[in-house]
Chains A and B, each alone.
Chain A
Amino acid sequence: MTAPSTTPALRGLAEDVSTGRVFARTCAAEWTRLWTVKATWWFLAAAAVAMVGLGAVAGFDAAADPVPPQGDPAWLVSSISAMPAQFALLAFTLIAVTSDYATGGIVPTLQWTPRRAVLFLARAIVTAGAATSAGVLLGLASALAAFAAARPGLSLPLDEGIEVLATVAFVFAAGTVLAVGLGFLLRNTAGGLVAVFLLMLVLPLLLPQFGYEWMSALAEILPGSGAAFLLLKGVPGMTTVSSVLVLLAWAGGALLLGWLRLMRDDANR
């Protein structure tokens, strides 16, 4: 079956391209896909308002205190403001995954990147990576805002800054990877958002209120408890180690289930 060579594509099979190259291209496509819709910018703006706004407010508060703080570190504000801001970033990531299912866009997506493992990894890395990086930069901006607003009441010690921002990065990374996994697993924006909020906020707060021991124990193994302990401390029953393990287990588990759904099921049926 010879075809006339009227166009370049008809001359022969396309050259084989290494998997690494395909992965890099898929990441570039995912990056473009992420930043060419409005939702991404809205959620990022919400996170920015929460973190920088809270930082500035905390700074002004500190400055207005009748007994102004004497060089306390401003970094505390970064981890406190990360608590509400994480929900904007979780939605940012979740919707980056589920909007493809909501709009049917997964059909062209898989036509352009039919190797699903490549697509899964690229999307997880690009979306969770972008959300986490943005979150850490906003954490920095939050502390700087507090520092500037309270000057000269607060300080910015470097070593503590690194520790706080690393914690914020870990919490955001684990949370957004969980959101990626849930997005691929549930394929549904509303369902995904409900699941994320239940796991990260509602259940960890609510379950201990009933006073049953097993409910409190259950709350301790939810990812929201781990995130709250690492960011705010003072969550009864949690330690740094248990928080890290709980977050890793949930992120890993959700990622695995999302992966299985993408690899095994039909594209969007």
Chain B
Amino acid sequence: MIEVRGLTKRYGDVLAVDDLSFDVEPGKVTGFLGPNGAGKSTTMRMMLGLDRPTSGKALVNGRTFTMLAEPLREVGALLDPGSVHPGRTGRNHLRVAARANGIPERRIAEVIEQVGLGRAAGRRIKGYSLGMRQRLGIAAALLADPRVLLFDEPMNGLDLDGVRWIRGLLRRLADEGRTVLVSSHLLSEMEQTADRLVVIGRGRLIADATTEEILRGLGHRQVRVRTSQPDQLLTRLEEHGFTVQRVDAHELRVEESTAEQVGDLANSFHLPLHHLSDVQQSLERAYLALTSDHVEHHAREAERAPTTMEAAQ
């Protein structure tokens, strides 16, 4: 369980994180989404006590991270996988972590095996690919079997196998009842992985809801239709109360409709159709809608971040 309450971080004139509050619950994968510079990493760093909040707090299992005696038994985290001494071997890197938290030596071999680092563990980290560094960081996070896991962009630099592996790992960790927070800009990835989404933009909370709710709340249905007689179809559609957009010479977009409605209507007027489809509302689009909306709000100096429902409308 992670509780974030009024978390704020100011760097000089820049407000990197602005009065952020949300919970990350156990047993779920929570996606932490936002465009670059939205404050995701800064928020995670504050959760881990690396950066000092200007105000507010973040509690992990009810306690401040910096008070923990055996932090690795509570929270495993992967931030920047490049933040390691390149001259040390992977195994020695993990050995330092184990010593600092009183973790038995045998766990090192276990996590090396678990993340598939294998023989590379005996080599210096400077020879590792980004993907291998990610795996090493994940090995350190899993070392003491923690109940809370934080991953900052864990899919970065991984090949397809690696991405699949992480996806499975996140699911398994959440299914075991752990609290899992994953930041990512790979929105399509979060669509498949996250049960819940916390979306931020410019350091402010934009949405905090289940992935499904966010998709549904934002998904205004749209139909794409191509015809040789667009003018007639447009007129007929508007007569029947639809909002229609002319995209090009032969294509129309019909708001708040379905392919069946548009197809039946065209048929009743004997208008030929060359293409008819529902436009897929992906999280990507939903997310862009959310964040661009937020940028506008921000520009107008909104008093507060819109709630999920406001943002969804």
Q: Please tell me if B274 contacts chain A, counting CB pairs below 8 Å.
A: no
B88 touches A37 (CB 8 A): yes
B50 touches A110 (CB 8 A): yes
In the bound complex, residues from chain B placing their C-beta under 8 Å from that of A36 are 88-89, 92, 95-96
In the bound complex, residues from chain A placing their C-beta under 8 Å from that of B68 are 14, 114-115
In the bound complex, residues from chain A placing their C-beta under 8 Å from that of B69 are 14, 16-17, 19, 21-22, 115
A9 touches B83 (CB 8 A): no
CA distance A38 to B73 in the complex (A): 30
Q: Please tell me if A28 contacts chain B, counting CB pairs below 8 Å.
A: yes
In the bound complex, residues from chain A placing their C-beta under 8 Å from that of B97 are 29, 108, 112
In the bound complex, residues from chain A placing their C-beta under 8 Å from that of B11 are 269
Q: Which of A10, A13, A25, A106 contacts B101 (CB under 8 A)? A: A25
In the bound complex, residues from chain A placing their C-beta under 8 Å from that of B140 are 108
Q: Which of B25, B50, B61, B66 contacts A13 (CB under 8 A)? A: B61
Listed stretches A48-56, A96-104, A174-182, A219-227; interface member: A96-104
Q: Which residues 91-110 in B have Cβ within 8 Å of A in the complex? A: 92-93, 95-97, 99-102
B80 touches A107 (CB 8 A): yes
CA distance A104 to B23 in the complex (A): 29
In the bound complex, residues from chain B placing their C-beta under 8 Å from that of A38 are 87
Q: Which residues 116-151 in B have Cβ within 8 Å of A in the complex? A: 140, 144-147
B147 touches A25 (CB 8 A): no
Q: Please tell me if A211 contacts chain B, counting CB pairs below 8 Å.
A: no
B135 CB to closest chain A CB (Å) equals 14
CA distance A116 to B85 in the complex (A): 19
Q: Count the A residues whose beta carbon is within 8 Å of the partner chain — how many?
A: 49
A103 touches B84 (CB 8 A): yes
In the bound complex, residues from chain A placing their C-beta under 8 Å from that of B71 are 111-114
In the bound complex, residues from chain B placing their C-beta under 8 Å from that of A245 are none
Q: Please tell me if A7 contacts chain B, counting CB pairs below 8 Å.
A: yes
A14 touches B85 (CB 8 A): no
Q: Please tell me if B70 contacts chain A, counting CB pairs below 8 Å.
A: yes
A111 touches B87 (CB 8 A): no
B84 touches A17 (CB 8 A): no
Chain A: which residue is nearest B177 at the CB level? A3
Q: Please tell me if B82 contacts chain A, counting CB pairs below 8 Å.
A: yes
Chain B: which residue is nearest A268 at the CB level? B50
In the bound complex, residues from chain B placing their C-beta under 8 Å from that of A107 are 50, 79-80, 83
B96 touches A29 (CB 8 A): yes
B84 touches A104 (CB 8 A): yes
Most-contacted residue by chain B among A31, A110, A111, A113 (CB, 10 A): A111
Chain A: which residue is nearest B92 at the CB level? A36
A105 touches B85 (CB 8 A): yes
Q: Please tell me if B167 contacts chain A, counting CB pairs below 8 Å.
A: no
Q: Please tell me if B310 contacts chain A, counting CB pairs below 8 Å.
A: no
Give me 28 A-to-B residue pairs in the complex whose CB atoms sit less than 8 angstroms apart, sorted by A's number: A3-B177, A4-B176, A6-B177, A10-B176, A10-B177, A10-B178, A14-B68, A15-B70, A22-B69, A25-B99, A25-B100, A29-B96, A31-B99, A33-B85, A36-B96, A37-B88, A103-B85, A103-B86, A105-B84, A107-B80, A108-B97, A112-B97, A114-B65, A114-B67, A114-B68, A115-B66, A115-B69, A269-B11
Q: Which residues of A pack against B, CB within 8 Å?
A: 1, 3-10, 13-17, 19, 21-22, 25-26, 28-29, 31-33, 36-39, 99-100, 103-108, 110-116, 264-269
Q: Taking A13-B61, A19-B69, A267-B50 as given, write out 20 further A-B residue pairs in contact, using a Cβ cutoff of 8 Å, ordered by the A residue number.
A: A7-B145, A8-B145, A10-B176, A10-B178, A25-B101, A29-B97, A33-B85, A36-B88, A36-B96, A105-B85, A108-B84, A110-B50, A111-B48, A111-B75, A112-B71, A112-B100, A266-B50, A266-B52, A267-B51, A269-B11
